[in-house]
Structure formats: structure tokens, C-alpha cells
Structure 1
């Protein structure tokens, strides 16, 4: 064995082997304990659904902080985890995002949405984003560019504000309350703290009722001046939110009226995706998980 190969990487026997057995093809399989320990850190981060400090991440994974740090160094080198330089907290890294997107591409709602989002962007001449529920909030997982470039930083991985964007308010309107509250807790900033008083909360809930009634939401010059949008939910056969389609364009150029041609095209695309999900009910469970 060369000097560059760690003893911990040895298979079935030795200190590096996991004590847990797994069945595979009728044979007992043994794994690498150090890999499984690293997996516990990843699992703890995923279950927390928020960036964690080293001490909190170690405690959640039931690992000593010093040992956890060594694993986090390796996981960071692989891109599975990254450390925010300002807060010092750990969060999923770029490789985790790539693996998540690879998994997403196998899901029926995403597969159905991609060609329809591209066709919608081409038909109306405005950019279209596909957003799903992430730990921090609605997250862009596909962005179809169309028309002139927009002076706004939107890309795959962008998290949309719950109260300040049309996409965020659609998610607030159609997600279960407990999921919405968890996202809300993970988002921070003045825009979120502004809706704390009972009268303001009641007004926000009334706005969500209106979104449910018309089936879409709009934003004008918000959260970025000069940028407006329309967002509509894609619902599964049980009426649960699978994802949202959001059309984005320059204010004055895009018609965000609820009864306008852009809104009608957006709603038609969302209904088409929902119809595809009805045709594939056996695949919905994997998407929901």
C-alpha cells in the first residue's frame, strides 16, 4: 500500500472497518467507519435545516468538537460542506448542491417543469425561474433566461424572501403552516421582523387568502427597484405545493396584471405541469420525500 493511502480506507477488516453490517446481494457487507462518521455530520446539518456552529454540529452528530473539526476540514475540501467566514457556521457546500440538483432532476415535478418553463420563457420573452422549498426558503433550482439581461442577481441557489417577493408569498400561501414557520425562522432581516404585530400578521394572512383565491401573486419594484414578477404554484393531485414558477422582467416592460396575457400564460404552464403529475401519481412520493 502506498504511503498516500490512509489505513482508515482499508475495507472489511481492521480499525477502519465499520462495526455495522449491511445486507447486499445475500452477503454481509462492511463499510468504512470514518466515512460513516462524516456522514453523521452531514445528516446532522441536513436535519438542522440551517447553518450550524462547530459545537452545535458536533453535539448533533454526537462527536467531540475536536474530532468533528478534523472531519469538517476534509468535508470542506471535498465541497460537501463550507464554512461562512463571517459567522463561522457550517452549511452545505457546492458538491452537496450538485448532488441535490442531480437528485432533483429525477423527480417528476422538476422533469415536467423544465421544458414548460423553457417554452414559457420563449413564448413571453421574459425570464422564468423554477423554485422549490429549501431549508432557508424558496430556492431557485432552474433559471431560464429570456429577453434583455436584468440588473438583478438571480441564479440557481438564490433563496427568495418569504414576505418581500411574489415567490415567497406564494410559498407562504400554499405551504403547510409548520413548514412555512420553519422557513420563516431560518430567514432573517428587517423585512421579516417587520411582520410581527398582530394587526400586521392578520393583514398578511388576508393577503395570503387573496393569493390562494386568484392562484398567483405579483411584485412591482420589489424586492429590487426596476424589477417586477409574477409567481404561480404548481400543485400535486392532493393540492400540495410541489414548486413555483416565477416570471421576472423589467418594470414597465412586463405586465403583471392578474388577468393579463403573462398571467394567463403562467397559469396555463402551471396547470400543465400539475396535469403531468396527475398522470404520474406513483412518482409523487419520491418528490415529497
Structure 2
């Protein structure tokens, strides 16, 4: 297509919106409306309506001090497609092995536009167990999966995840010093263990599936229940060991199979 054809099919409003997104993607801490206009060599008034629409559609967030930052919505849209499907596919044999060894259900959760979302699930091999539906949306602050997804992210991304979660109607959790210390402890020991906030008698065990740089691609979670009619079933300590090993092996496969376009693009 020559330059004349390109001019014929121009969409100025779309170009302006894409210019803003591309600009914000390359800066830390956000930019004011005046700074955006200066960097794009345009009048600030040209961007008022465009920024307003991008904020209302969730692609950009407005911070205190009239600064605009890119949200994780574009990442969320991208990660629900091929990379996430590949992650679920390559993980399934190892998830099946995990279920057989532990006699427990397990599932994989990724972050998507404000909420952890289940993308793969394998039921317990026997007749009794917890079942989490694929597509279920969870909380960040009251689930083991949410804690792991927050713990294995950079502070800046973590803050944006919390803001998106609250904006999308999630639990209005606070990043208190105590909660931040808990996330640090999760990152140090490599997993989360907490009583379920939704179901009595269940202990959520969750370990990260990480990229090469240690950032969370997903969380692998076992909603552990004590099986009283199977005395040989692994106890919770053994289940944690197998869970962590399985998450590590999936992480290695994900690094080899997904490459630079994987869900690690952070989110």
C-alpha cells in the first residue's frame, strides 16, 4: 500500500487513541494531560475527550495529581487467547499427575482485568472432592491464588492489580504493611497456605507458575481437604511438596513453550 492509500484510510481518532496507549506503555509513573500533549506535539485540548473515553473503558487509569497510567486491560485481553490456552494445555498432564498423587482437585488461575480467573481445572480422582469451575472469577485479597498472583509481581504492577480489582467491584482490600509483609513471606517460602474464606474445612494451597524473571504467569492451587476414609492419602505437608514441584515443572515448560509472548508480559 502506498502513502496515498494509507492517507485515504486514516482514522485520526483511532490513531490518537493508539498514540496515547503506546506512549503510556513506555513510561513509569504516568503522565499528565499536558505532558502527553507535549510529547505527542499536540494541543492538550485535543486529548481531553480521548483520555476520558480510555479511562471509562478501562484502558487507562487516572491517578491523583491528574496523571494517567496504562492499566492491565490490554494484557488481560491478550492473555485469554493463545498463550493462556497453551499454558492450560501443556500443564494438564502434570495437573493430572498432581491429582493422582495428592488425591485432591487442582486448578490454574491467571490474573485478568481485576480478578483471578480459573483457566484449567482437574477434579480429584476419587468420588469426593472440591470442584472449581473453569471461568470462575475470584478475589485478590481472600484467596490463596490471589495472594500468590500479587506476591510474585513487582510493586508497581501489584498496585495496579489492586486498583483494577477494586474498580471492577472486587473486595476493597488495603495494601497494609501487614498484608505486604504477608506477600513477602509467600514469595520467600514459595507458596501460600490459608483457610478458605469461602468453604469451611478447606485449606487453600497455592504455588506460582513463573516466568524466567520470577514474575507470576499463574497460580497453581489445591483446595486441600482431609480425606478420612483414605489413610494413605498424602498429608498437607506432602501435598505442599508435590504442589511446589508441579508448579516448578510447569514453569519450566511454560518458559520453553510460550516464549516472549507468554502471559508473563504483565501483568
Coarse TM-score class (shorter-chain normalised): 0.5 to 0.7
Residue 255 of structure 2 is aligned to residue 275 of structure 1: no
CA shift at 1:157, angstroms? 1.8
Structure 1: any 5+ residue segments left out of the alignment?
1-18, 23-29, 48-55, 62-91
Kept in 1: contact 2:123–2:130 (CA 8 A): no
SS at match of 1:192: coil
Cα offsets for 1:213-270 (capped at 9, x unmatched):
110001224232232220000122221211110011336769774xx11001101101
Q: Normalising by structure 2, what TM-score?
A: 0.61
Indicate the structure (1 or 2) with the bigger Cα radius of gyration: 1
Change (3 A) 1:190 1:117: closer
Aligned to 2:120: 142
SS at match of 1:272: helix
CA distance in 1, matches of 2:153, 2:79: 21
CA distance in 1, matches of 2:122, 2:179: 30
Change (3 A) 1:208 1:183: same
CA shift at 1:150, angstroms? 5.0
SS at match of 2:90: helix
Greater relative CO (CA pairs within 8 A, separation 6+): 2
Aligned to 2:92: 114
Change (3 A) 1:125 1:141: same
SS at match of 1:226: coil
CA distance in 2, matches of 1:244, 1:163: 14
CA distance in 2, matches of 1:57, 1:220: 45
CA distance in 1, matches of 2:197, 2:159: 22
Kept in 2: contact 1:221–1:228 (CA 8 A): yes
CA distance in 1, matches of 2:204, 2:81: 28
Q: Normalising by structure 1, what TM-score?
A: 0.57
Aligned to 1:103: 82
Residue 183 of structure 2 is aligned to residue 228 of structure 1: no
Kept in 1: contact 2:104–2:222 (CA 8 A): yes
CA distance in 2, matches of 1:182, 1:102: 22
Structure 2: any 5+ residue segments left out of the alignment?
25-48, 55-72
Aligned to 2:62: none
CA distance in 2, matches of 1:256, 1:158: 27
1:165-204 mapped onto 2 (5 Å cutoff): 165-188=143-166, 191-193=171-173, 195=174, 201-204=176-179
Q: Among residues 53, 56, 78, which one is paired with 1:60 in the alignment?
A: 53
